[in-house]
Structure 1
């Protein structure tokens, strides 16, 4: 796939996550608890993901491959996902969707640059350059402008 198409898919993912946040925030308000909305969202996410796996995965990992996976990788991503998603559902009705998403993106942006610079989590190292720092400042300024009342 070319870089433009992959970038477009990343943009679409952001749109879908914003829609998901808005819909599940409504569910959380109607259920009177953001964690109940999170459980519901993850349950149905599991159902949809299982359908996609059954329809599209041609081969599965061997027992040896599964045993080679560090134990924390089985649950750590899920833990952070539940915490992050629940915080989205909790804060969107209090802040508004554009404020929450922009602040969430700000957190993602700053932490991803830090994690990329040091190559944390086994990811490729992406050194912090002057151009990247200027991009962070530009996006940070945009986020501030979005949130100024």
Structure 2
């Protein structure tokens, strides 16, 4: 579990750094949308390379067709969320933006886990988890208090 937690922390750190870099790219290019497009183009190239190197068995057409339509919408949500990151970071600062963004992620994750959305394991909201959410919200206030 410690190794997974370490990887998760590294993923969060990578997102904060890449968001800052790409937000500045958008500022210098005078378009947060262009910064988003560049980020996704590079991500696409890296993903295609990783697939070519790592994937040995590709899904069949029947498997692809069996995927529910709403599971194909992740890219839309990514473009929306990432585009907003690059738009808001130069206006709010990376600390404030990340604190609000992470709060949104955790709140939706808690609700999603409670109901077991997308066939993922259900983890009902408990008193302890509710206190954690309250502490998170208090942290957002303290981080952004001025």
TM-score (norm 2): 0.96
SS in 2 for 1:32: coil
Residue 71 of structure 2: which of 63, 70, 73 is its match?
73
- Give the CA deviation at 1:64: 1.6
2:129 aligns to what? 132
How big is the shift at 1:97? 0.3
Aligned to 1:114: 111
Tell me how far apart the structure 1 counterparts of residues 143 and 106 of structure 2 sit (CA, whole Å): 16
- Structure 1 runs (4+) deviating above 6 angstroms are none
Counterpart CA distance in 1 for 2:12 and 2:139 is 17
CA RMSD between the two structures: 1.0
1:75-95 CA-partner distances (Å, limit 9, x unpaired) = x10000000000000110110
- Pick from 68, 79, 103 the counterpart of residue 82 of structure 1: 79
Q: Following the alignment from structure 2 to structure 1, what is the Cα–Cα distance between the partners of residues 69 and 107?
A: 28
Unaligned runs of 5+ in 2: none
- Tell me the distance in 2 between the aligned counterparts of 1:20 and 1:78: 18
Deviation string, structure 1 residues 25-53 (Cα, Å, up to 9, x no partner): 01110111111111111011000011111
CA distance in structure 1 between the aligned counterparts of 2:82 and 2:112, rounded to whole angstroms: 20
Report the TM-score when normalising by structure 1. Answer: 0.94
The secondary structure found in structure 2 opposite 1:19 is helix
Number of equivalences: 146
